[in-house]
């Protein structure tokens, strides 16, 4: 059984395989009247698009998004929005060997065991190409957020890549757009570049860690107990290919702290409560506090490396495999816009869930 | 808006506040014919029950579970199972001060902001007492797992508490039941005890990290893309009170590794694929591999400490608060059975989701 | 597999068997701040309660509802509301014969075939006692509707019982409370009474038809395409025990009409659109028009009659059965408050779904 | 808020407007290994396709379905199946007048009131063109049913059109394919033709009633209480455009019957229980009995007629409208394949839900 939908009221179903005719996202629950244009969605897809520099895969995927429904005269109508991206650069011959062999660290073997059939071309449904559909859907979510919560801003960036870490003392969000790693630390770019060049030339790969910060999130988002804001963010991030861990605020480090060290004290500001610190990552009891919402997630190194690895065939014979093809040395880089997109979807979803307590008029007036 | 249900086919809705008449779990989707007895559920509740040693809260909560529906002559009937736990030890006077003041680090302030009304007694719905209902539901899940997958075994244990860590070289699951911390490291118990005694006497608290291991999990569990096994486990753990981070297999550490270091090579064993290591935590592409499924989660220190903290009142005045009452110095300890219960629910849910590909007869035969 | 929950945002899960310790409803998604008292819910339960006159079963079911959670100081908190009704009058001996034999027209045989186990006492989960939980939940829905849409009014009444029909020329809603059939036709009461007395004394039973009218329903309710208001009303009514048909407005009769005869022309009134007639039953394209919403449903005669009927045993032997016990000669009568309750739940659910297009402040203010 | 998905495990989301670039269905939850070809789906779409005779709209809609995902080498893979139908014959000029005026009996006014924006071209999302997507999805459901329950057969046919009824004494399913009304009564065809010709030439329209019969349905389908088989069938049919009533077995007529007249007695046959009659329509307590499942639904006359009708404009002015364009004089005819498709989806969904009680191996074997 498969479950390809996420969201409670803003529901996104992604579909498509890496080497089928197309992939996309079916979005149900977008509020009506939101300005949506293909060109605006394309901006986010281009951010994720591979082949933009030497640190991402050299596959050419133009990833042109088409809007097939749900938008009329430039605005959402409240009906399902269908976003389609045609697959174009499908060099299927690159993947010939994997028809019979399972690539270690990939989902080849588990899809086979679960379904008894798999589209082996490029990972099929388990390919990271699926994240293009997420980014397109995230573009719609951002457009709706812009209308509903204009002060809300989502920013993603890397904070670690293998042994390379950013220096928080030099943290500057303005630097993110100026380097290929989306890191907020200009002085680290050269080291990161040299490090990844080394791995790339060796045919190796490396993991990474992405941090997401949402500012301007209104207090009150989160549907306790099982749709807590942190719960839904954790699920959203963990559903991204290759993600192995998710944390909010202090995260795993909270295991280390005492109650005194972890407390965010409260005082009254001009426009509401203020907090002395943000160990909580902007979420208490699963509900947003109004502070920045901080999420981090770890992406494992891609398993596609040039070193031969032991594996088996469908018929159960021991063998070896080298994953050829054109791969990202650090998939964590391209995970940045994907994480941002997922966060946009989750925040919009909870913004919509949070309505409904008091009366309001319907939008369509007559007379 | 609230969302108090989790699960796809095995759906658990928890209800109840810490100081209301009762709390419990409404379970829909338990397969019929599963042997279920209140006494068997009680075993798990007793494991979570406070007041068993000096390291957990001295509140007395007998946590007697009653089965109100869905079980007939000792077996589940396929209809909803209602589990109720009466609240008995409700010393409401302990909580008098928090009627007007928000406890920092607690959900008092966000529930108030979200709902405009809150049951302030003992945290109300945001109290960790809600986890008693999870443990009861987990008992039902374990009973169903026992019938459907007899080899599946779920074990939880602490691996860190503040500065104290277990030594993996001494790892011995047989030791878990022999110490108050559920740690698989007998030689560490004295140090952990002394450390927590110090914190307890100082009126402080500390975080912790819990690891869960499920062995005997069949390959093929997990509903890609948005109900991946790791996604659902992450959501389940993050929904537990005070949890700030979740990781699978290598987890956050995956950001550090190269592709070579992270690869789990495959070979053919007598009864199916074997893996040279388990960096993946038993999950590839969101689907179980048949290896041990490994999850870790971090629990923050409880915010209820004897040091006065700055806070505000409902009317927006700055003030201070000391959280009196009887609290756990490390809530991570009692999070062990809660994590186990959540894992049982998730694994059963995916076991049920994974059926349906081939024909089978109905259970009720006539003639 | 069972599915015991209905509703999208206002979600009601009913639980319990006719002869278990208790039954009830777990309600998730009730808005916060709604005044809710057990006494107010009891009014609706008493309306459904059997034994009030000679035309309903003589079983005594006090049906006292207890609120176990989700209500604090008389108001909903936004957390799950647990409503419990203890079963008291369980004369299990009345049902001895049905342990082995399946009652024709009852769900005994299908529950057995589906689950391989059944609580045979009084129908178990398939008993109409389950509708007590619906009525209790409907009371909560009515309380929330009163707060959110004060002009909305739901009225149910019978329009047919076997060969007896009401005369629409004498239609007077004020008469409903004055007769045991809830019919809006005072002049018909004597005939209906004589007719049902005859059937009752003969140990027979008869079907009935219930009409529901909701006035004051705001325009715009209904979530096309698969959560249309009429779709959800049809599902809600068809889920009631013994219901075999549901219709909206002209209903089945629409098959007979021409486009000219069926048209509801529109003109502009002082406060919005007006319609020349209401063939549509207040719903166009699945969305409410602002007119009265009109639903009818047919209830089959109970299969519990004194005439012996052919049936089989669990072991497949042919036999006969006479259903003893204390039964309603026309279950359609007590279906009236049940239909009202379901309509209240559906309308509230869609009222909540219909929010979320424009901004609003959170209810909990600070300072 | 919109809800464009139906189904529990076999989930279909339809998308698209009548005059947008395309429409289609996103199917999640189709079991893997089902043989699926576009040509086979096309057969069902052609059955629904307009313009095949003088009794259906003369619009030309080739309705060519494309499979964009989820099928690999002719078989479903268990991943989402995207079905797309390009819109081609979009004579938008036909609909010019309805930009400002609301067509009585159509959803124009309610969509406007609900959303404040609508795609006025041809009804937009509320157009019956949406049912093409249902028929395509139904084709996938039929393919899966063929694999899982080869004896299951679904047949739809008209039983009434305005004043014309079939004669049950002449009932012959073999005749359905031989006439433009899909009626199982050869002798009635001429009368029906003359009747509808008269209405068509007068620019009028008429309602109709469709009956669906599913034979070979295994006992045990239906998920009580709120996903009963009859509940889900009622919802599925009521969600079809213009449907105003749904009934199972005796349906609305059950209100008329006594318990003696309505009873289906049970005896033991060679291969299981047999019933003396089928008043229940093959469903008891929401669960299939193994008898034929019988559903009927009424379709209202299309509101697009040549007689001018009173209406209002968006700005609230009174006016008149004549709905030009090419319309079906009886939309009930083309509702036959749509009803069949919905029934196929519901039965497959419940077949999938009904699994999961006993163990089974995964389909993907290794070695």
**In this predicted model, what pLDDT tens digit does every residue of B216-234 receive, in sequence order?**
999 999 999 999 999 999 9
Q: Encode pLDDT of B40-77 as tens digits.
A: 999 999 988 766 767 776 666 689 999 999 999 999 99
The pLDDT, as a whole number, for residue C361 is 47
C134-146 CB burial, b ≥16 within 10 A, e <16: bbbbbbbbbbbbe
Neighbouring chains of C at 3+ CB pairs under 8 Å are A, B, D
Tell me the two tokens of residue C296.
């009818």
The answer to whether A303 faces chain B, any CB pair under 8 Å, is yes
Strand segments (E) across A47-98: 65-69, 71-72, 75-76, 81-86
Q: How many Å apart are CA A40 and CA C277, to the nearest integer?
A: 46
Write the residue in A255, A310, A356 that is nearest to B266 by C-beta.
A310
Least confident range of A295-309, B2-16, C79-93, C96-110: C79-93
Mean pLDDT score, D89-107? 78
Q: Encode pLDDT of B153-164 as tens digits.
A: 999 999 999 999
Residue C18 is labelled as binding a ligand: no
> pLDDT-based confidence at A161, cuts 50/70/90?
very high
Alpha-helical regions (H) of A202-326: 229-238, 259-262
The pLDDT, as a whole number, for residue C236 is 98
* CB-based contact C82 B1, cutoff 8 Å: no
Domain range summary for chain B, segments of one domain joined by +: 5-358
The pLDDT, as a whole number, for residue A122 is 83
| Angstroms from C348 CA to nearest CA on chain A | 11
Q: How many Å apart are CA D89 and CA D91, to the nearest integer?
A: 6
| Angstroms from B232 CA to nearest CA on chain C | 21
Interface test with B, best of C7, C29, C68, C129 (most B CBs within 10 A): C68
The pLDDT, as a whole number, for residue B22 is 97
* CB-based contact D298 C259, cutoff 8 Å: no
The single-letter DSSP state of residue D179 is: S
The pLDDT, as a whole number, for residue C357 is 40
Write the residue in D79, D220, D367 that is nearest to B362 by C-beta.
D220
The pLDDT, as a whole number, for residue C109 is 95
* CB-based contact D17 A82, cutoff 8 Å: no
The pLDDT, as a whole number, for residue D358 is 35
- How many other β-carbons are positioned within 10 Å of the β-carbon of residue A150? 10
- Candidates B341, B358, B361; CA nearest to B136 is B341
Angle at B184 between CA B181 and CA B185, to 5 degrees: 90
The pLDDT, as a whole number, for residue D363 is 59
The answer to whether A165 faces chain D, any CB pair under 8 Å, is no
Angle between helices D331-353 and D229-238 (to 10 degrees): 150
A51-74 CB burial, b ≥16 within 10 A, e <16: eeeebbbebebebebbbbbbbbee
- The residue among C341 and A363 whose pLDDT is bigger is C341
- How many other β-carbons are positioned within 10 Å of the β-carbon of residue D138? 30
Q: Which residues of D are annotated as a binding site for NADP(+)?
A: 48, 54
Side-chain-facing half-sphere of B204: CA atoms under 13 Å: 15
Question: What is the length of chain D?
Answer: 367
Task: Indicate whether B357 pLDDT > 50.
Answer: no
Task: Indicate whether D304 pLDDT > 90.
Answer: no
- The residue among A136 and C271 whose pLDDT is bigger is A136
Q: How many Å apart are CA D25 and CA D191, to the nearest integer?
A: 38
Interface test with A, best of B7, B13, B123, B266 (most A CBs within 10 A): B266
Q: Encode pLDDT of D196-251 as tens digits.
A: 999 999 999 999 999 999 999 999 999 999 999 999 999 999 999 999 999 999 99
Cis peptide before A225 (omega within 30 of 0): yes
The pLDDT, as a whole number, for residue A332 is 94
Pairing of strands B243-248, A243-248: antiparallel
Closest residue in chain A to residue B353, using alpha carbons only: A1
| Angstroms from D41 CA to nearest CA on chain B | 22
Task: Indicate whether D140 pLDDT > 80.
Answer: yes
> pLDDT-based confidence at A356, cuts 50/70/90?
very low
> pLDDT-based confidence at C356, cuts 50/70/90?
very low
Chain B CB contacts of A299 below 8 Å: 254-255
Task: Indicate whether D57 pLDDT > 90.
Answer: no
Task: Indicate whether A274 pLDDT > 80.
Answer: yes
Helix, strand, coil percent content, chain A, rounded in steps of 5: 35, 25, 45
- How many other β-carbons are positioned within 10 Å of the β-carbon of residue D147? 16
Name residues 20-59 of chain A within 8 A of B (Cβ): none
| Angstroms from B157 CA to nearest CA on chain D | 30
The pLDDT, as a whole number, for residue A51 is 65
Question: What is the length of chain B?
Answer: 367
Is residue D124 within 8 Å of A77, Cβ to Cβ?
yes
Is residue A129 within 8 Å of A122, Cβ to Cβ?
yes
Dihedral over alpha carbons D284, D286, D289, D294 (to 10 degrees): 90
Q: Report the mean per-residue pLDDT for chain B.
A: 91
The pLDDT, as a whole number, for residue C70 is 97
Chain C CB contacts of D304 below 8 Å: 259
**Ramachandran angles phi, psi of A261, nearest 5°:** -70, -25
> pLDDT-based confidence at A357, cuts 50/70/90?
very low
Give the three-state DSSP class for B327: coil
Q: How many Å apart are CA B148 and CA B32, to the nearest integer?
A: 11
The answer to whether B158 faces chain A, any CB pair under 8 Å, is no
- How many other β-carbons are positioned within 10 Å of the β-carbon of residue B118? 29
The pLDDT, as a whole number, for residue C118 is 86
| Angstroms from A315 CA to nearest CA on chain D | 4
Q: Report the mean per-residue pLDDT for chain C.
A: 91
Tell me the two tokens of residue D354.
């009904």
Is residue A303 within 8 Å of B265, Cβ to Cβ?
no
The answer to whether C220 faces chain A, any CB pair under 8 Å, is yes
Biggest alpha carbon–alpha carbon distance for chain C: 75
pTM over 0.80: yes
DSSP line for C41-93: HHHHHHHH-S-SSTTS--------EEEEESEETTEE-SSPEEEEEE-----GG
Q: Which residues of D are annotated as a binding site for FMN?
A: 125-127, 241-242, 285, 300-304, 326
Q: How many Å apart are CA A304 and CA A50, to the nearest integer?
A: 16
Q: How many Å apart are CA A4 and CA B279, to the nearest integer?
A: 26
Task: Indicate whether A358 pLDDT > 60.
Answer: no
Q: How many Å apart are CA B280 and CA B289, to the nearest integer?
A: 9
Mean pLDDT score, D30-42? 95
- Candidates B343, B115, B315; CA nearest to B213 is B343
* CB-based contact A360 C363, cutoff 8 Å: no
Chain C CB contacts of A356 below 8 Å: 9, 31, 352, 355-356
> pLDDT-based confidence at D360, cuts 50/70/90?
very low
Q: What is the percent of chain B with per-residue pLDDT over 90, rounded to a whole number? A: 80
Q: How many Å apart are CA D81 and CA A15, to the nearest integer?
A: 7
CATH class of the domain at B5-358: alpha beta
**Ramachandran angles phi, psi of A296, nearest 5°:** -125, 145
Side-chain-facing half-sphere of A48: CA atoms under 13 Å: 28
| Residue recorded with tokens 């040279």 | B276
The pLDDT, as a whole number, for residue C62 is 81
* CB-based contact A15 D77, cutoff 8 Å: no
Q: B153 pairs with which residues across the strands?
A: B215
Tell me the two tokens of residue C93.
């001996």
Is residue B263 within 8 Å of B279, Cβ to Cβ?
yes
* CB-based contact B284 A109, cutoff 8 Å: yes
Strand segments (E) across D116-271: 153-161, 164-165, 208-215, 243-248, 266-269
Mean pLDDT score, A24-28? 98
The pLDDT, as a whole number, for residue B60 is 65
Q: How many Å apart are CA C118 and CA C314, to the nearest integer?
A: 12
The answer to whether B1 faces chain D, any CB pair under 8 Å, is no
Mean pLDDT score, A307-316? 93
The single-letter DSSP state of residue B258 is: B
The pLDDT, as a whole number, for residue D359 is 37
The pLDDT, as a whole number, for residue B122 is 83
| Angstroms from D303 CA to nearest CA on chain A | 21
- The residue among A50 and C276 whose pLDDT is bigger is C276
Tell me the two tokens of residue C15.
């639980």
Burial class (CB in 10 A: 0-12, 13-18, 19+), C215: middle
> pLDDT-based confidence at B323, cuts 50/70/90?
confident
The answer to whether B364 faces chain D, any CB pair under 8 Å, is yes
| Residue recorded with tokens 């006497």 | B201
Q: In this structure, is the dihedral angle defined by the CA atoms of residues D302, D305, D307 and D308, taken in order, positive or negative?
A: positive
Q: Encode pLDDT of A217-271 as tens digits.
A: 999 999 999 999 999 999 999 999 999 999 999 999 999 999 999 989 999 999 8
Q: How many Å apart are CA D58 and CA D311, to the nearest integer?
A: 26
Task: Indicate whether C226 pLDDT > 50.
Answer: yes
| Angstroms from D46 CA to nearest CA on chain C | 23
The answer to whether B79 faces chain D, any CB pair under 8 Å, is yes
> pLDDT-based confidence at B118, cuts 50/70/90?
confident
Q: How many Å apart are CA A291 and CA A271, to the nearest integer?
A: 13
Mean pLDDT score, D81-101? 80
| Residue recorded with tokens 């596959």 | A59
Chain C CB contacts of B112 below 8 Å: 364, 366
Q: How many Å apart are CA A196 and CA B322, to the nearest integer?
A: 50
Q: Report the mean per-residue pLDDT for chain A.
A: 91
- How many other β-carbons are positioned within 10 Å of the β-carbon of residue D74? 9
Task: Indicate whether B254 pLDDT > 60.
Answer: yes
Angle at C173 between CA C172 and CA C179, to 5 degrees: 95
* CB-based contact A265 B311, cutoff 8 Å: yes
- Residue B326's region, left for phi above 0, alpha for psi from -120 to 50, else beta, is beta
The answer to whether B362 faces chain D, any CB pair under 8 Å, is yes
> pLDDT-based confidence at C120, cuts 50/70/90?
confident
Give the three-state DSSP class for B12: strand
Alpha-helical regions (H) of chain C: 38-48, 108-115, 130-148, 189-201, 229-238, 259-262, 331-353
């Amino acid at each position: 059984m498969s479950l390809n939908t996420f969201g409670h009221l803003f529901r996104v179903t992604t579909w498509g395989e890496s080497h089928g005719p197309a992939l996309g996202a079916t979005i149900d629950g977008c509020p009506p009247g939101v300005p949506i244009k293909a060109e605006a969605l394309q901006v986010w897809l281009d951010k994720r698009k591979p082949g933009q520099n030497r640190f991402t895969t050299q596959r050419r995927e133009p990833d042109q998004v088409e809007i097939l429904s749900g938008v009329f005269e430039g605005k959402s109508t409240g009906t399902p929005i269908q976003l389609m991206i045609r697959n174009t650069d499908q060099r299927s011959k690159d993947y010939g060997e994997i028809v019979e062999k399972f690539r270690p660290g990939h989902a080849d073997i588990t899809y086979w065991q679960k379904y008894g059939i798999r589209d082996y071309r490029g990972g099929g449904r388990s390919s990271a190409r699926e994240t293009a559909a997420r980014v397109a859907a995230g573009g719609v979510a951002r457009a709706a957020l812009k209308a509903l919560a204009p002060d809300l801003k989502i920013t993603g960036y890397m904070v670690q890549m293998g042994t390379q870490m950013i220096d928080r003392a030099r943290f500057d969000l303005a630097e993110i757009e100026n380097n290929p790693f989306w890191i907020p630390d200009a002085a680290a770019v050269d080291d990161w570049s040299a490090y990844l060049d080394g791995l790339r030339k060796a045919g190796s790969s490396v993991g990474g860690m992405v941090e997401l910060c949402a500012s301007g999130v209104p207090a009150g988002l989160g549907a306790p107990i099982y749709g807590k804001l942190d719960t839904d963010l954790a699920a959203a991030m963990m559903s991204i290919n290759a993600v192995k861990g998710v944390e909010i605020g202090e995260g795993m480090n909270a295991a280390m702290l005492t109650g005194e060290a972890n407390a965010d004290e409260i005082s009254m500001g001009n426009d509401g409560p203020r907090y002395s610190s943000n160990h909580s990552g902007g979420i208490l009891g699963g509900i947003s506090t109004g502070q920045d919402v901080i999420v981090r997630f770890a992406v494992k190194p891609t398993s596609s490396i040039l070193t031969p690895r032991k594996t088996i065939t469908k018929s159960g014979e021991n063998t070896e495999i080298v994953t050829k093809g054109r791969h990202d040395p650090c998939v964590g880089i391209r995970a940045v816009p994907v994480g941002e997109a997922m966060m946009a979807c989750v925040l919009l979803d909870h913004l919509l869930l949070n309505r409904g307590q008091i009366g309001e008029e319907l939008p369509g007036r007559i007379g």
